[in-house]
Amino acid sequence: MALVVLAAEPRAAITLQEPQMRVLVAEDSQLLLRADADEPLRVRGLGHQERRLKRLKVQLRGGRLHLAGGGVATSLRISSDDPRGIWLGTRRYRGDLRLLVRDGRILAINQLGIETYLSSVVGSEMPSKWPLAALQAQAVAARTYALRQRGSKGDFDVRATVSSQVYKGIESETPSTLEAVATTRSLVLVHGGRLINAVFHSSSGGATEPSGEVWRIQHPYLVSVADHDDHSPVHRWNQRFDALELRRRFQETGGVNQLSVLATSSTGRVRSARIQGPRGSLVLTGRELRQRLGLKSTMVQFSMLQGAGASEGSEPRMEPDRAEPAPQLIGLWRDSVSGLKVSPSPSPAPVQPLRVGSLAPPPTPPPLPELPTSAPARATAPIEAPVLEARGRGFGHGVGMSQWGAHGLALKGADFREILRHYYRGALIRPYRPGDDPSVAASPPSEPVWRS
C-alpha cells in the first residue's frame, strides 16, 4: 500500500504597512524650524493652501500658533521632500512634524515609520561602535517597547527623553545602527502572545532587579539574573555630600544626622529609608531617596563620616572604579543564556543594608581656670560636621536588559537572540503581528511582515 504524503500548504505571506510612531520631541512657547538646504518646507494648517517656507518661527499667543511674518493657526503640519530632514532647534528629524497647543505649550510631535525612528534610538541609547549583537538587542527591545506604547498617551506615543527612550534625530543614525535595525526588521519580544514590557537600563551593578521590587507588577520575564557588566564605568561608584549640601536637599529635616535603611530588595537595593535631622525625621522610598540625592541607582550603602575622612566642598563627588572614562549610557527605564557557551560571571554578594547611627559631637571641655597672667585662653578646635557617603553599584532602575551587560555578552560571543533571552526570561522573538495572536507566536514566519 502506497503512503501518500500531502505537503502542507505554505502560510500566506502577510505584508503590513509599517507602523508609524508619534514622538514628542519638543514642548515650548516658541519654536524655530528651518529647511536643511534650498528645498523649502511644506506647511499645512494656514487656510486651505499649502505654504512653502524655508524658515518658520512659531510663537504661542492667546492659545494659538502665530507665525513670524503673518499667519495664525490652531495646529500645523510641516513636511519636507528633502532626505536631509527638518531642523527643529539644533536637531534634524525625518518624517513630518506636527505642532499642537496643549496646556499652554506648543508640542512638536515627530511622525515617522518605526524602523526609521529606531535607527536613531539605537544610536541615542548605545555607542554606535559597540558590537553589532548588542546594537541588535537594543533595536529589538526598543521596537518592542515603542509598539507597546502606541496609542497610550493621546496626542503622542512616546517622548524623546529617558522617560520613554532617547531619540536625538538624524544625527544619531550611523551605518552600524542602520544595520542593527535592518537585520532585526519587525522583530519583537512576546510572552503569552503579548508584547512584553521591554524595559532596559544602563548597568545593574551585578544583578538585575525583579520588576515587582520596583513597580507593582511582577512580570514572569522580568526576574533577577546575573549581569555581565563588571567592566562598566558605573559598576561601582562613590558620592559624598557635606552638611551644607544635605541641608539643601533635606530642608524639612534641616539636614541629615542619621540615615537608616529600613528595607531592601532581594538584590540589596534600598526600598525605604529614614532620614533624621535637627528638625525631625522623614521616611522615603528608595526611588525618592535616589532622586533627592541624585544617585546613580538604589543599590547603595550609606555611612556618616566625620573628621579627616570627610570630604570638603558642597558638591557631591562621583568616583568610578575605572580611571579612563567610557561611553555613558542613558539607560531607562527603557536570565541565563540558553545554550550559550559563555562562563557566566558569578552573582555578586547582595548589598547588606547598613544602619548608620548619629555621631554626637564631643562634649565641650570645661573652661580653663583663670591664671594670674595676661596669656589668652586656649581656643577649642571647631567640630567638623558629618558627611554622608554613598557607595553604590550600577546606573538605572536595574530592571530588564542591562546595556553594559549586553555589551559584555556580545564581547563573549553571544548573538542578539541569546542576549535578549538572557535578560527577558521566557520571551519569544518573532515578527510583530497586530493583536499578538499566541498561535502566530508559536509558528513565526521567517520573513519581515512589512516592507519599506
pLDDT in tens, 314-371: 344 333 333 333 344 444 344 333 334 434 444 444 444 434 343 344 455 555 445 4
Q: Quick one: pLDDT at residue 444? A: 45
Angular region, 386: left φ>0, alpha ψ -120 to 50, beta rest: beta
Which residue type is seen at 434?
Answer: P
Q: Are strands 387-392 and 237-241 parallel, antiparallel or unpaired?
A: antiparallel
416-423 vs 403-411: helix crossing angle, rounded to 10: 140
**pLDDT the model gives residue 318:** 37
Q: Measuring CA to CA, how many Å separate 283 from each of 257, 351, 352, 449?
A: 14, 20, 19, 51
Q: What is the DSSP string of 69-97?
A: TS-EES-EEEE-S-TT-EEETTEEESSEE
Question: Above 90 in pLDDT, residue 3?
Answer: no
Region of 63 on the Ramachandran plot (φ > 0 left; ψ -120 to 50 alpha; else beta): left
Nearest to 159 by CA among 110, 105, 231: 110
The whole-number pLDDT of residue 320 equals: 37
How many other C-beta atoms can be found within 10 angstroms of the C-beta atom of residue 277? 20
The pair phi, psi for residue 137, each rounded to 5°, is -60, -40
Beta-strand pair 158-159/270-277:
unpaired
Residue 39, SS3 per DSSP:
coil
CB 435 within 8 A of CB 190: no
Decide which of 310 and 87 is more confident. 87
Sign, CA dihedral 216-219-220-221, equals: negative
Q: Which residue has the higher pLDDT, 437 or 218?
A: 218
What percentage of residues in the chain have a pLDDT greater than 70?
Answer: 75
Q: Output the pLDDT for position 379.
A: 54
The residue to which cell 505654504 is assigned? 51
In angstroms, the CA 348 to CA 224 distance is 12
pLDDT recorded at residue 151:
83
CA dist 218 and 370 (Å) reads 72
Question: CA 291 → CA 271, 328, 349, 388, 434, distances in Å?
Answer: 13, 19, 25, 16, 38
Geometric angle at alpha carbon 8, from 4 and 10, rounded to 5°? 150
Choose between 177 and 332: higher pLDDT: 177
Distance between CA 207 and CA 24 in Å, rounded? 33
The whole-number average pLDDT for the span 396-414 is: 97
Mean pLDDT, rounded, for 74-84: 93
Least confident of 48-52, 90-94, 176-180, 434-438: 434-438
Task: Tell me what pLDDT residue 358 has.
Answer: 39
The rounded mean pLDDT for the chain is: 83
Q: What is the pLDDT of residues 195-239, one digit of tens each?
A: 999 999 999 999 999 999 999 899 999 999 999 999 999 999 999
Q: What is the DSSP string of 225-287?
A: -B---TT-TTSSEEEEE-HHHHHHH-GGGTS-SEEEEEEE-TTS-EEEEEEEETTEEEEEEHH
For residue 172, the Cα-to-chain-centroid distance in whole angstroms is: 16
> Which residues, including other chains, have CB under 8 Å from residue 161's CB and lie 6 or more apart?
none
Q: Residue 434's pLDDT band (boundaries 50, 70, 90)?
A: confident
Q: Dihedral sign for Cα 123, 126, 130, 133, please.
A: negative
Nearest to 354 by CA among 220, 218, 259: 259
User: How far out from the chain centre does Cα 112 lie?
Assistant: 22
